[in-house]
Structure 1
Amino acid sequence: MRILFFGRGVISTQYAWAFEKAGHTVEFYVRKGRKETFGSHIELEMWDARRGKQLIQESWNVKLHEEINPNYDLIIVSVNTEQLPKAAQLLSTVAGNTPVLIFNNIWQDLKSSISPLSMNNVVFGFPGAGGGIADNRLRGGFLKMLFLEKPRAGTEQLNNKVKDLFESAHFKISWIKDMQNWLWNHFAMNAAMETEVLRRGSFPALLNHRDSFANVGKNMREIAPVLKARGAKIDMISLLLTKIPAPLLSTLFNKVILAKGSIPRLIIEYNNSKPNFAVLEVVREAKKLGIPLPRLITAVENIEQH
């Protein structure tokens, strides 16, 4: 399969590497001027959990383009959430009928988030990967599991194409019945975590404070009414964060979910992105709905002060 990744970010690079190793052709679209800046290779230091825990260290050659043509079997979009509308707009004009996998965190209504692309030509998913890039060096990791929406009417063929692609590279798919609801909950969880990252100063600092995830749970309790006001159902992860007592939640994350040396913990530790967009989006929505978010508002005020 010939695949175009929209952007050469952390998620795109890791999955592209895995697909190329599985025999697929992978290329990247980057903005004007980025081809020269990025160069023809990227240094990889990432953990691969598909067959146990393996460290990948190599200088990987990549093929970059500053224009998009429709001669691909699939385009995969995994960008910063705020960049998605512009990405969708561009693809609607240059990608023709090439099917698109939106591999992204989304807070908006799914249809409006990818307008003017057709929902019949799009499948939504979410990666099991993360990390950061600095000085053309990627540090991160990816799990065997990823998330993909169950087929909607008219997308069965596209879903099968995406399914076959990931399974050819030995990934396992967790099928999501209501992707809109799942993404709303996941975005809210991100906002709860980013609020604490803003308080601590960085993602590594979040991991180094024992009570960080107790505070993440408190943040999530504030956000839960916003989800409910949107018509979202609180899923199991959100329920975990809102119902488990703070001390137990702290132990659960520090000793089990994000145990030292685990790939999920390393993914967060390597994350060097700016932790504010999810917080700002949830705060904006809460203000519209008249729902108080004192913990998140304090984090936003800290952003403004800096």
Structure 2
Amino acid sequence: MKILVIGLGTIGSIYGYVFQKAGHEVEHYLRKSSPKAAVKQLQVDLLDGRTEKDGIQSSDVYQVKHCSGKTYDFIFVSVPSGGLASVIDSLAADGISGTLILACGIWEDRAYVDRLVKGYPYILGYPVAGGNIRDNRLTCCLFDHFMLERKEKAAISNYEKLAKLFADCQIQLEQPYDMLEWIWLHMGINAGVISVMGKSGDVKDTTAAAEKLMDSIQYLKEAVKAIRETSQIVASRGVNLKHYKNELLAYKLPTVISAPLMKRMFAKKVLTRKIMTLHGNTQDLLFVCKCLYDSGKKNQIAAPNFYANCEEAMGKITSLMEKK
């Protein structure tokens, strides 16, 4: 298959790398003005969880091929939600076609997404991977599954082909009740965690902040309380949380039980701990928190723990970004 990955960001590069290793033709779409436009390869340090639960560490070189065509089977898009519109505009202006895989944190509703894609066939997904790129080195981890919209809810004609793409890469598909609602809930859970990390840790060192959270029962208790509140913010948008019992089960237990269980999980699950420590894009972190904060305030949802944590965390992150 012929795959186009938008940009040369962390998530797109992880999946572009594994698609290429599985024998598919992968290219990256970068604007000429991009600082990464001249990059032709990345050093890859991957903790790969597709065949071993604790992951297998490997090092490799990813040969980055740049966009050379107009027609692709799939276009993999993983950018901050605010950047989607310009991506679609650029693809349309360049006459590039293909089925969009929108693997993004989208806080808008379905009608907005339908308008945004401007007639492109698309499907919603969410990556289960993470990492960072520094000095053309991709340090990352990859899980054995990918979240993908159900066939009956996706208006694409090549669903089976997409399922085969992931199967070729030894990646299983998990399909929640509603993909967009699942993304909102996932963003809500992340916002609860980020708010506590930002309040209690150093936002200049997100790895240390994540380690501090995962090693502290007290901070994990605070995170559970915040997540309970952010889940209610998500519910206020019309989401029936009963459809997502498995995702919320850990946060419904009393904190004296849930926090120690989470601490033990982070200590034992190498991949989960790794993904927590690698994500350091402060702009993304701020976006997630702000989405939940603004919606909660607008819908008048009582979330005192989350709001207090979020205000302190967002203040730190905004201050840091202003100094850069």
Report the TM-score, using the length of structure 1 for normalisation: 0.89
Q: How does 1:69-218 map to 2 (within 5 A)?
A: 69-113=69-113, 115-117=115-117, 121-152=121-152, 155=155, 157-199=157-199, 200-201=201-202, 202-208=206-212, 209-211=215-217, 212-218=219-225
Shift of 1:240: 2.5
Is contact 2:4–2:74 with CA below 8 Å preserved after alignment? yes
Of 278, 294, 300 in structure 1, the residue corresponding to residue 311 of structure 2 is: 300
Task: Report the equivalent of 1:239.
Answer: 248
Which of 200-209 and 182-191 deviates more?
A: 200-209
Whole-Å separation in 1 of the counterparts to 2:312 and 2:209 = 20
Shift of 1:304: 2.9
Cα offsets for 1:118-173 (capped at 9, x unmatched): 57710111111111122222111101111111123673522212111111111111
Q: Secondary structure at the match of 2:157?
A: helix
Match for 1:43: what amino acid?
Answer: Q
Whole-Å separation in 2 of the counterparts to 1:103 and 1:48 = 19
Whole-Å separation in 1 of the counterparts to 2:168 and 2:313 = 46
Task: Report the equivalent of 1:266.
Answer: 274
Is contact 2:75–2:101 with CA below 8 Å preserved after alignment? yes
Is contact 1:132–1:271 with CA below 8 Å preserved after alignment? yes
Match for 2:216: what amino acid?
Answer: R
Is contact 2:122–2:154 with CA below 8 Å preserved after alignment? no
Cα offsets for 1:75-101 (capped at 9, x unmatched): 010112332232233334435541111
Whole-Å separation in 1 of the counterparts to 2:145 and 2:124 = 15
Q: Secondary structure at the match of 1:157?
A: coil
Is contact 2:46–2:58 with CA below 8 Å preserved after alignment? yes
Whole-Å separation in 2 of the counterparts to 1:229 and 1:119 = 30
Whole-Å separation in 2 of the counterparts to 1:92 and 1:193 = 37
Cα 1:303–1:116 shift into 2, 3 Å: closer
Whole-Å separation in 2 of the counterparts to 1:38 and 1:113 = 32
Q: Does 2:290 correspond to 1:276? A: no
Is contact 2:208–2:277 with CA below 8 Å preserved after alignment? yes
Identity %: 25
Q: Does 2:227 correspond to 1:220? A: yes
Of 50, 53, 58 in structure 1, the residue corresponding to residue 60 of structure 2 is: 58
Shift of 1:55: 1.2
Shift of 1:203: 4.1
Shift of 1:45: 0.9
Match for 2:277: what amino acid?
Answer: E
Whole-Å separation in 1 of the counterparts to 2:173 and 2:156 = 15
Cα offsets for 1:194-242 (capped at 9, x unmatched): 1122112224423333133222111112223212211112222553254
Greater than 6 Å deviation, 4+ residue runs? none
Is contact 1:38–1:136 with CA below 8 Å preserved after alignment? no
Which of 276-285 and 55-64 deviates more?
A: 55-64
Whole-Å separation in 2 of the counterparts to 1:135 and 1:16 = 18
Cα 1:134–1:247 shift into 2, 3 Å: farther
Is contact 1:69–1:94 with CA below 8 Å preserved after alignment? no
Which of 197-206 and 101-110 deviates more?
A: 197-206
Cα 1:96–1:296 shift into 2, 3 Å: same
Cα 1:169–1:10 shift into 2, 3 Å: same
Whole-Å separation in 2 of the counterparts to 1:183 and 1:154 = 15
Cα 1:160–1:141 shift into 2, 3 Å: same
Instruction: Structure 2: state its 5+ residue gaps.
Output: 320-324
Cα 1:35–1:3 shift into 2, 3 Å: farther
Match for 2:290: what amino acid?
Answer: L
Q: Secondary structure at the match of 1:47?
A: strand
Aligned residues: 303
Is contact 1:91–1:117 with CA below 8 Å preserved after alignment? no
Report the TM-score, using the length of structure 2 for normalisation: 0.85
Instruction: Structure 1: state its 5+ residue gaps.
Output: none
Is contact 1:85–1:115 with CA below 8 Å preserved after alignment? no
* Cα RMSD for the two superposed structures: 2.3
Task: Report the equivalent of 2:296.
Answer: 286
Whole-Å separation in 2 of the counterparts to 1:72 and 1:92 = 13
